[in-house]
Structure 1
Amino acid sequence: MTPGARVQAAIEILDEILAGQAAEKTLTNWGRRSRFAGSKDRAAVRDHVYQALRCRRSYAALGGTETGRGVMIGACRDQGIDPADLFTGQGHAPTPLSESEQAHVGTFESDAEKNDIPEWLWPMFARSLGAQTEDVAQALRARASVHLRVNLLKGDRDAAISRLQHEGISTEPHEASPTALVVTEGARRVKNAESYLSGFVELQDAASQAVVNALPLQNTPRVLDYCSGGGGKALAIAALRDGTVYAHDADPRRMRDIPERAARAGADITCLDTAELSKSAPFDLVLCDAPCSGSGSWRRDPEGKWRLTQDALDEIVALQSKILDDAAQLVADGGVLAFATCSMLDVENHKQTQDFLARHTGWEHLSERAWHVHTGTDGFYVSVFQRAG
């Protein structure tokens, strides 16, 4: 495929996404009906689509319309490329620019539009991030780095760096966590690498690893990952301590890969369904990596930025509060409750901490910490409480 043909493919895919289709499903369907596209073509088209979704508002303003064509015209202008060089109508490239498209001078009507944040969310986003607001918003417009967690049950970080280098994957330590690596070359090879397939390394953002490092894991024989999902944090916890780690999720289907992942990693993880929780309680430490807006991972899931509404956010906040209240009942006297989100919105983070302490007596607030995307990780937050006794 020519560069212009790749842009045309992205335009067609974006039109379907803007009409309401899910990005992954649309890309998969395009790939199935485009057997002529090689692996490099597919990767390039995918990159076009996801970058356009990250920057949907600003690209539409620069391109003149919120359509696949308008967004891709805006993408060219944002990147300093003359759209006329790609919109030629030749070799399956998009048709040449019309006079109105050529004459359009893109201007931004608000800070939210310039920074690719939904208009309704911008005031809350700015209040949450203060002086860092524009730096964070601009960082969300770029692709996220690929981070790995070194599994200390298999070896140390230096050994992982050496192993990966022999597999054509260059990495370097990430300062957010002692187990974190950032991939500098060969990211697309990771999932087929022996180091990954054998459980020596796992894909996990450095801030997600740092959340685990912030937990007081000493003298906690019984640890529960309460909102476990696929088990990433349960695996990270298991690599840092002796003894069984328990995992639970309200939807057990989300945990279906944990036994295989744990076996590969050499970790001891026991999955519990909801009926088994009360029988297994109390726990010395309960981690609630709660459902959230996902604002800290919008570089990886840019659709989430545009799907979020005020009503949906209100429902998420209410659910987080219920999860905290329910999880608190599972903590032993003198035990620890940790609350984490991959969000950068205060209403999901510090305010949840304040509200929990207002609802519950007999708890001490030990610590809280936040990571933001402009410092080289996903956005994360963790708050740690201890029950009296």
Structure 2
Amino acid sequence: MTPAGRIAASIGLLDRILTGEAAEHALTGWARANRYAGSGDRAAVRDHVYDALRRLRSLTALSGANTPSGRALLTGHLRAMGRNPEEMFTGEGYAPDPLNAAERVKLRAAPGADMLPELVALDCPDWLGPQLKDSLGNDFAPVLEAMRHRAPVFLRVNARRGSRNEVAVRIAEEGIETRTTPLASHALEVTAGERSIRNSVSYQQGFVELQDASPQAAVEALPLKRGMRILDYCAGGGGKSLAIAARADCDVTAHDAEPRRMRDLPVRAARAGAAVRIAKSDLQGQNYDLVLLDVPCSGIGTWRRDPDAKWKLTPEWLSDLLRVQEEILDQGSRLVAPAGTLAYMTCSLLGAENGGQIAAFLDRHPDWRLVEERSFTPLNGGDGFYSAHLTRV
């Protein structure tokens, strides 16, 4: 594909995504339907699409358009890179159609990047800006700016298979270059070869798992002891269950309100040499030494990886999430043994989902106390993440 052909393909994909299709679904479908596109083409198109979604507001403004569209976003993207969009919008071969008269007028009248309003320049939804400013304080602008860029890729080294240094050497031999990060003791940041990870022998044999460094750090902070009964109550794919099982010989049970999310967990656990049981029955009456609640949340901390989620989040959806988080905290607390720990986690940066939920829980349950809490932002290197440990008074 030519560079202009890649732009044209990205425009079509963005139009599909802007009408509601999930970005990953659209990209996967396009790759399957266009077998002629090589790995370099697929990677370039993916980068165009995700860059445009991360910067949807600012790129739309730089194009002069009033509403986002595939053409507007890629016009703004080229302008942001210092390129003249008309060099790509030629209509020749597989290039996108030339800019029409109205598009040219809007482009000439569009403000420069240094003239954009703050929330537009930072690609932040207007309704969320005040809440995020309250939550992040002086870090608001630097964090939102970091969110406009691609996220680093991290691996979690499976301590049951080898040390971080040993595994780093092993995967380097497979073309995957990494460096250590201070965020977590088993985390490696991938610096080259990331597209080879899933097909590597090291990944397939359970030496490494893909997992951001912030949740790795949160799991490392859990007060684990040999023989503990642990419940991962909102397990999802089970990444934290596997990370716990790699740290200590515990009885780990994974549970999720939608069990299909855990369908790959038994295979991943066997690959990692970890023992994780899947909850098969009602948990009522059970109790555990540690209950982990990685609750459904807005996902604001992962906007770099899932940028279309930024624009789908609404005040109504956030309100529903806050109610669900409150219910899960109450449910999970009833499953904790008398001297046990309740660990609450989100991948959000919003105070209402984090410290606000903990404060409200403690108001409802004065027999509990906060032991510690931790917050991570992209300024730490990984995703935005929050964790809190509670125990009974």
Structure 1 residues 44 and 333, CA gap change in structure 2 (3 angstroms): same
1:341 and 1:236 map into 2 onto residues whose CA distance is 16
1:317 paired residue number: 322
One-letter code aligned to 1:115: L
Structure 1 residues 126 and 311, CA gap change in structure 2 (3 angstroms): same
Please state if 1:293 is matched with 2:295.
no
1:338 paired residue number: 343
1:219 and 1:326 map into 2 onto residues whose CA distance is 25
Residue deviations 1:298-325, cap 9 Å, x none? 1111111000000100100110010000
The answer to whether the Cα contact below 8 Å between 2:158 and 2:186 also exists between their aligned partners in 1 is: yes
The answer to whether the Cα contact below 8 Å between 2:64 and 2:107 also exists between their aligned partners in 1 is: no
Please state if 1:74 is matched with 2:80.
no
TM-score normalised to structure 2 length = 0.95
1:167-246 matches, within 5 Å, as: 167-218=174-225, 221-246=228-253
1:51 paired residue number: 51
The answer to whether the Cα contact below 8 Å between 2:63 and 2:107 also exists between their aligned partners in 1 is: no
**Segment drifting more, 19-28 vs 344-353:** 19-28
Gaps of 5+ in 2: none
1:165 and 1:226 map into 2 onto residues whose CA distance is 35
**Segment drifting more, 22-31 vs 49-58:** 22-31
1:202 and 1:260 map into 2 onto residues whose CA distance is 13
1:367 paired residue number: 372
Please state if 1:3 is matched with 2:9.
no
Please state if 1:119 is matched with 2:126.
yes
2:270 paired residue number: 263
1:263 and 1:289 map into 2 onto residues whose CA distance is 23
One-letter code aligned to 1:144: A
2:61 and 2:93 map into 1 onto residues whose CA distance is 27
1:12 paired residue number: 12
Alignment match of 2:333 (pick from 315, 328, 331): 328
Aligned pairs, number = 386
- Secondary structure of the 1:191 match is coil
Q: How far did residue 39 of structure 1 move?
A: 1.9
**Segment drifting more, 344-353 vs 109-118:** 109-118
2:250 and 2:140 map into 1 onto residues whose CA distance is 42
Q: How far did residue 146 of structure 1 move?
A: 0.7
Please state if 1:22 is matched with 2:28.
no
Q: How far did residue 101 of structure 1 move?
A: 4.6
1:63 and 1:106 map into 2 onto residues whose CA distance is 9
Residue deviations 1:154-210, cap 9 Å, x none? 110011110011000000111100010000000000000111000000000000100
The answer to whether the Cα contact below 8 Å between 1:332 and 1:387 also exists between their aligned partners in 2 is: no
2:27 and 2:268 map into 1 onto residues whose CA distance is 27
The answer to whether the Cα contact below 8 Å between 2:227 and 2:249 also exists between their aligned partners in 1 is: no
1:310 and 1:78 map into 2 onto residues whose CA distance is 30
TM-score normalised to structure 1 length = 0.96
Q: How far did residue 250 of structure 1 move?
A: 0.9
Gaps of 5+ in 1: none
1:88 paired residue number: 90
Residue deviations 1:209-250, cap 9 Å, x none? 001011111366111111101110000000111132111111
Q: How far did residue 375 of structure 1 move?
A: 2.4
- Secondary structure of the 2:388 match is strand
One-letter code aligned to 1:77: R
Q: How far did residue 126 of structure 1 move?
A: 1.0
